[in-house]
């Protein structure tokens, strides 16, 4: 069994765990989940596999405390995005203190740090439980964390997504919307009979620009800046010589902490209402997915403990940051678990070249172990 962080991380990278919901026919998390579970069990740490959907496995492991202490969950995801044109994606290479390979940065280095921290905790005497949830499907629909949270609770959690050893205390959420405008099909030669659904969608797009300017005029979040909205996909029409009877637009709205689905729906009502008075205009809007934004108080116990221990390990106080991208941290927070995000330094998430700084991954492991010892004592 690999025992050092570089050896463990290299082993994790070699196991293909590309998310099959992103790349049909991809390997998925099963082999990696089984390795993580067997590695933990080889170190005397009990673990189980949780199957959120057929073949989509997460790992739940626990180092039980002696009683009377606070419990802390470490969380990482098992899946990666596809390898695309990435050369030697599953053959880890070390150059100048960096390990390259798919998942090295996002986020098998964070997973390795969690596994080693659990091993450290198993050799200590802590009053509180230490839990690891290594979950499936974070890169797509978060099936893993949702299933795990039906079974596991903790007094606090640390998600080890990469943060360059800063404390991430907020990230944006998003809502996805489908807007459909309806026209009347007719030959292109009969404008008296046809109504153009695509032209109607053009009016929606114009209103979308107005909404974006409005979002930019609102007060900015101190760590996340402004909310935003953009058109992502559009489809419409039947053929070149016909008036289109239907046009469908898919939109993403990036949200800030405090924004709710109710407020977003009201925004859409205000956006479409002026258009509804125009002749022949017909449109419907529906929400297809909601992922909440995340924020944790700076004075939350887990944030203060993690900052104190990081300062001792690193010799400097880590900064507090926000991230524009979404993470499973939002599900943990929504379950009532105070959560902070902390992980190593690197680059190349979802890119053709991905790497993690090994020294920062070692530091992450040390900080996690120190935080477990302090929080669960």
Q: Classify residue 196 as exposed, middle or buried by CB count within 10 Å of its CB (0-12, 13-18, 19+).
A: buried
Torsion from C-alpha of 223, 228, 233, 236, nearest 10 degrees: 170
pLDDT for the residue 192: 82
φ, ψ at 34 (rounded to 5°): -65, -40
**CATH fold label, 5-171+294-375:** Aminopeptidase (3.40.630)
pLDDT for the residue 109: 98
How would you write the pLDDT of the chain (377 residues) with one tens digit per residue?
A: 899 999 999 999 999 999 999 999 999 999 999 999 999 999 999 999 999 999 999 999 999 999 999 999 999 999 999 998 898 999 999 999 999 999 999 999 999 999 999 999 999 999 999 999 999 999 999 999 999 999 999 999 999 999 999 999 999 999 999 999 998 988 989 988 988 999 999 999 999 999 999 999 999 999 999 999 999 999 999 999 999 999 999 999 999 999 999 999 999 999 888 888 877 888 999 999 999 999 999 999 999 999 999 999 999 999 999 999 999 999 999 999 999 999 999 999 999 999 999 999 999 999 999 999 999 99
Instruction: Please list the residues that pair with 229 across neighbouring strands.
Output: 253
Every domain of the chain and the residues it spans: 5-171+294-375, 173-291
pLDDT for the residue 279: 73
φ, ψ at 69 (rounded to 5°): -105, 170
55 and 134 Cβ atoms separated by less than 8 Å: no
pLDDT for the residue 289: 95
SS (H, E, C) the chain: CCCCHHHHHHHHHHCCCECCCCCCCCCCCHHHHHHHHHHHHHCCCEEEEEEEECCEEEEEEEECCCCCCCCEEEEEECCECCCCCCCCCCCCEEECCEEECCCHHHHHHHHHHHHHHHHHHHCCCCCCCEEEEEECCCCCCCHHHHHHCCCCCCCEEEECCCCCCCEEEEECEEEEEEEEEECECCECCCCCCCECHHHHHHHHHHHHHHHHHHHHHCCCECCCECCEEEEEEEEECCCCCECCCEEEEEEEEEECCCCCHHHHHHHHHHHHHHHHCCCCCCEEEEEEEEECCEECCCCCHHHHHHHHHHHHHHCCCCCEEEECCCCCHHHHHHCCCCEEECCCCEECCCCCCCEEEHHHHHHHHHHHHHHHHHHCC
Tokens standing for residue 35: 């390795």
Q: In terms of CATH architecture, what is 173-291?
A: 2-Layer Sandwich (3.30)
pLDDT for the residue 24: 96
pTM for the whole structure: 0.93
Inter-helix orientation angle 30-42/109-122, to 10°: 20
Instruction: Let me know if the fold of 5-171+294-375 is the same as that of 173-291.
Output: no
pLDDT for the residue 219: 96
């Amino acid at each position: 069994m690999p025992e050092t962080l570089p050896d463990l991380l290299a082993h994790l990278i070699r196991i293909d765990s590309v998310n099959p919901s992103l790349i049909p026919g991809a390997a998925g998390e099963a082999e990696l989940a089984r390795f993580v579970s067997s590695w933990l069990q080889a170190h005397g740490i009990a673990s189980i596999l949780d199957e959120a959907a057929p073949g989509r496995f997460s790992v739940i492991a626990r180092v039980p405390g002696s009683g009377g202490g606070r419990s802390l969950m470490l969380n990482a995801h098992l899946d990666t995005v596809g390898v695309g044109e990435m050369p030697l994606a599953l053959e880890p290479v070390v150059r100048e203190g960096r390990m390259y390979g798919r998942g090295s940065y996002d986020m098998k280095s964070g997973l390795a740090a969690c596994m080693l921290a659990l091993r450290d905790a198993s050799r200590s005497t802590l009053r509180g439980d230490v839990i690891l949830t290594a979950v499936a499907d974070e890169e797509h629909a978060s099936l893993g964390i949702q299933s795990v949270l039906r079974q596991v609770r903790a007094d606090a959690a640390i998600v080890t997504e990469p943060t360059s050893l800063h404390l991430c205390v907020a990230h944006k959420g998003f809502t996805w919307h489908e807007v459909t405008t309806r026209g009347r099909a007719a030959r292109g030669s009969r404008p008296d009979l046809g109504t153009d659904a695509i032209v109607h969608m053009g009016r929606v797009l114009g209103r979308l620009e107005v909404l974006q300017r409005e979002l930019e005029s609102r007060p900015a979040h101190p760590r996340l800046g402004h909310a935003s909205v953009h058109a992502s996909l559009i489809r419409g029409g039947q053929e070149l010589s016909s008036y289109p009877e239907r046009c469908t637009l898919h939109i993403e709205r990036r949200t800030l902490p405090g924004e709710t689905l109710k407020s977003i729906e009201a925004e859409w009502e205000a956006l479409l209402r002026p258009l509804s008075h125009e002749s022949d205009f017909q449109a419907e809007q529906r929400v297809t997915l909601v992922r909440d934004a995340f924020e944790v108080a700076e004075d939350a116990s887990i944030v203060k403990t993690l900052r104190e221990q990081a300062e001792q390990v690193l010799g400097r106080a880590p900064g507090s940051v926000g991230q524009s991208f979404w993470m499973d941290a939002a599900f943990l927070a929504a379950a009532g678990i105070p959560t902070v995000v902390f992980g190593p330094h690197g680059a190349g998430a979802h890119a053709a070249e991905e790497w993690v700084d090994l020294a920062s991954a070692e530091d992450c492991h040390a900080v996690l172990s120190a935080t477990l010892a302090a929080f669960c004592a």
